[in-house]
Amino acid sequence: MVCCNASLVTDVIGSWTVPKVACSSQSDSTQLASAWVGIDGAINASNTVEQIGTGSRCNPGNSTGVYYAWYEWYPALPRRLLSPYTVVPGDIVTAEVKWDGSQFIASMRDQSEYWSVERVNSTIASVASRASAEWILEAPTNSTTLSIIPLANFGKLFFENCSATVGAGSGPMGTFQLIQDTMVDSNSYTKPVPILPFYNDGTSFSVWWVSLGP
């Protein structure tokens, strides 16, 4: 879900429960599902994305998923958050990206594993447009081949407690004009889909897995 088509976004926050992905020992491909919140990425041809989230991964020939937290100051490559920032299915995490006037601050709190983390970037500020607040679940892109990785079967995920600050206004995501952004594969088949209506006074919505994609 994307808001707001204005170069005034200074804060985005959301919570979710890390999904357990359905992996198969018969699979011959890597599959990923990345949930994140961030600023920029979908509107006005943004050249940057400031984001933090969790990843759920199926490796080829393995029925056990791998889970981790990460952040990214795109176009730089994503960085995993290593120990002690462990993530397991069922963890409840809250992620936030904000602009304080001179730098971006990406933070995450895992209330199940009792850790919190913060990462700061000021160098990206000169080119970031701050055009959108985003709550996303997607199949990420392979940084080497630039192809979209198959989407791991995460079942269903709820984004909760979602809010943003745009200009002088702060509030639940449902108070803003939103774009319901559905990911499709190269053959235009749906991979995941966000489902409306909102829940809890416009702070929550669900995303459902549909297909791996090519």
Model pLDDT, residue 41: 83
* Cβ–Cβ under 8 Å, residues 23 and 65: yes
Task: Point out which residues pair with 69 in neighbouring strands.
Answer: 54, 81
The pLDDT, as a whole number, for residue 44 is 57
Please, are residues 37 and 13 in contact by the beta-carbon 8 Å criterion?
yes
Tokens of 19: 């999904």
Confidence class for position 197, pLDDT limits 50, 70, 90: low
Mean model confidence pLDDT for the chain: 90
Distance CA 128, CA 143 (A): 21
pLDDT at 8: 87
Q: What does the alpha-carbon distance between residue 38 and residue 104 come to, in Å, rounded to a whole number?
A: 10
| CATH code for the part of the protein at 2-209 | 2.60.120.700
Mean pLDDT of 39-62: 88
In the prediction, which pLDDT does 26 show? 87
User: Residue 87 pLDDT more than 90?
Assistant: yes
pLDDT tens digits, residue range 107-158? 999 999 999 999 999 999 888 989 999 999 999 988 788 788 999 999 999 9
Q: Which amino acid is at 155?
A: G
For the stretch 172-192, pLDDT in tens is: 998 888 888 788 877 777 888
- Compare 70 and 194 and report the one with higher pLDDT: 70
Detail the DSSP E strand segments found in 111-203.
115-121, 132-138, 156-166, 169-172, 192-199
Report in angstroms the alpha-carbon separations of 52 from 199, 203, 204: 23, 19, 18
Q: Look up the pTM and report it.
A: 0.92
CA distances from 9 to 74, 96, 121 (A): 17, 12, 16
pLDDT in tens, 36-50: 999 998 765 678 999
CB count in 10 Å sphere of residue 140: 17
Q: What is the pLDDT of residue 146?
A: 78
